[in-house]
């Protein structure tokens, strides 16, 4: 297999594994450490995939969609924390 196919498959696997871990392993010790590790791995694989496939509009969109799908838990947490820091939250 070519490096291009391997990079996309690895990125796709991490993108699929992350929401699965988020939904099923919440009682596991080190749950957030695993999720953060998967987020870092997904980001690194996304950059590697862009470097291997070349920076094209379709590859950037595919990586961004994969990161949003895979790291939705992180995006959601950041949005909740940002809304809690606003003045008047909970009043």
69/60 Cα distance (integer angstroms):
14
pLDDT in tens, 19-38: 999 999 999 999 999 999 99
75/72 Cα distance (integer angstroms):
5
User: What's the farthest any 2 CA atoms get from each other in the chain?
Assistant: 57
pLDDT at 1: 80
pLDDT at 85: 86
pLDDT in tens, 34-70: 999 999 999 999 999 999 999 999 999 999 999 999 9
Residue 9 has pLDDT above 80, yes or no: yes
Q: What is the pTM of this model?
A: 0.86
Question: Is residue 91 very low, low, confident or very high in pLDDT (cuts 50, 70, 90)?
Answer: low
Helix, strand or coil, per DSSP, at residue 88:
coil
């Amino acid at each position: 297999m070519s490096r291009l196919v391997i990079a996309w498959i690895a990125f796709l696997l991490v993108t699929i594994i992350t929401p699965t871990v988020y939904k099923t392993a919440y009682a596991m010790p080190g749950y957030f450490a695993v999720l953060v590790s998967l987020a870092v791995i997904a980001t690194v694989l996304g950059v590697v995939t862009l470097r291997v496939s070349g920076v094209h509009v379709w590859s950037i969109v595919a990586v961004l969609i994969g990161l949003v799908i895979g790291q939705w838990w992180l995006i959601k947490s950041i949005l909740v924390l940002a809304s809690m820091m606003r003045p008047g939250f909970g009043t």
